[in-house]
Amino acid sequence: MDLTDARILVTGGAGFIGSQLSDRLLADGNEVVVVDDFSNGREEWVPAGAEVLEADLTNRDAVTDAIDADLDLVFHLAARKDPNDDDPRGQFDENTTMTHLLLEACRDAGVEGFAFASSSTVYGEAPRPTPEDFAPLEPISVYGASKLGEEGLVSTYAHSHGLTAWTFRFANVVGPRLRGAVIPDFLEKLRANPESLTILGDGRQEKSYLHVDDCVDAMCHVVDRAGADDVESDGGATYTYNLGTRTTTSVDRIADIVSDVLDLDPDYEYTGGDRGWTGDVPRMRLSIEKLAAIGWTPNLESDDAVRRAAEELADEIDEA
């Protein structure tokens, strides 16, 4: 799908990834509608030139009002994500309800394209590097379970109702505007106490980290290229891609990088165990060979993505 001169709706468009995707889509000459309830996103992050709708996407009427026949594509990034959520049923229901209502509204309005932000958490504790066709998918967190359920809905509407869908399984995305994750957590802890840093788990958890600039570029590349040579497809197709790096970074290494960025040498203290929280996947590395086959690889590998994000966030948090 050509991502120029299109009318595109971005759910969660005031959030960490969504706001930066919206900025890219505008720069490429598209008309962008941002939909957000501002529970996590910030209005000041929405780029100038985007139309803004404040809406609760679990409300059918609000979703129906947001989706119109003039839209060419929906990028669905809005989600409730909290690894320590004390209402897991609510998290699952909210995420799957949003996706179901959006798909229904797209079908009714005749919107032909749907790009969905999923997660590596759908794989659970899988062999590494994990390809897109790995099975069985056995998530170990409610968030991962909700993403797997949402993927099923996206596939159903693609194959049953003629929608063309692109599903992205993200590695850990990092960069400016990131909140509630390991890099900003370490920055805030070290600002409060430069002498000591508490690390969840044993510090040996090891995962791929993708810079948000690469993430946004990869999403646009996939929508533009995946299925472009499929001459038999006239809607009714879904294309699933891992978005990540070929390398990984440990939590201890992240602590070292963040400490170096702040020019500190703290003592590390560990909470213990091989994972940071219930549902945490200690080790994750996605295969990105399918993505490379359509001509895209990241500019920054995992360590470099972490360092750049730490530098950006250190400046951003200082200014907040």
How is 199-222 classified by DSSP, letter by letter?
ESTTS--EE-EEEHHHHHHHHHHH
pLDDT digits (tens, 9 = 90+) for 256-307: 999 999 999 999 999 999 998 888 999 999 999 999 999 999 999 999 999 9
Task: Indicate the domain borders of the chain.
Answer: 7-173+209-243, 175-208+247-285+301-319
175-208+247-285+301-319 has CATH 1.10.760.10 classification: no
pLDDT digits (tens, 9 = 90+) for 102-152: 999 999 999 999 999 999 999 999 999 999 999 999 999 999 999 999 999
The token duo for 264 is: 């500190």
Cα gap 251→318, rounded to integer Å: 23
**Phi and psi, residue 15, nearest 5°:** -95, -170
Neighbours of 196 (CB within 10 A): 12
pLDDT digits (tens, 9 = 90+) for 190-215: 999 999 999 999 999 999 999 999 99
Angle at 184 between CA 180 and CA 187, to 5 degrees: 145
Cα gap 115→22, rounded to integer Å: 13
The predicted model gives 306-316 an average pLDDT of 96
Cα gap 27→260, rounded to integer Å: 34
Q: Tell me: pLDDT of 79 over 70.
A: yes
> Helix crossing, 142-161 with 88-109: angle to 10°?
20
Rounded percentage of the chain residues whose pLDDT exceeds 90: 89
pLDDT digits (tens, 9 = 90+) for 245-268: 999 999 999 999 999 999 999 999
7-173+209-243 has CATH 3.40.50.300 classification: no
Largest pairwise CA distance in the chain: 61
Instruction: Please tell me the predicted confidence (pLDDT) of residue 234.
Output: 55
Listing DSSP states for 139-204 in one string gives: --SHHHHHHHHHHHHHHHHHHHH--EEEEEEE-EEESTT--SSHHHHHHHHHHH-TTEEEESTTS-
The token duo for 317 is: 């948090």
The predicted model gives 33-50 an average pLDDT of 96
- Domains 7-173+209-243 and 175-208+247-285+301-319 are alike in CATH topology: no
Task: From 204, 206, 200, 196, select the one nearest 272 (Cα to Cα).
Answer: 200
pLDDT band (50, 70, 90) for residue 319 = low
pLDDT digits (tens, 9 = 90+) for 90-110: 999 999 999 999 999 999 999
Task: From 46, 53, 56, 80, select the one nearest 68 (Cα to Cα).
Answer: 53
Instruction: Please tell me the predicted confidence (pLDDT) of residue 86.
Output: 78
Helix (H) or strand (E) holding 289: helix 289-292
210: Cβ contacts below 8 Å, ≥ 6 apart: 170, 171, 172, 173, 174, 218, 243, 244, 245, 298, 300, 302, 305
The catalytic residues are: 143
Neighbours of 223 (CB within 10 A): 24
Q: Tell me: pLDDT of 231 over 50.
A: no
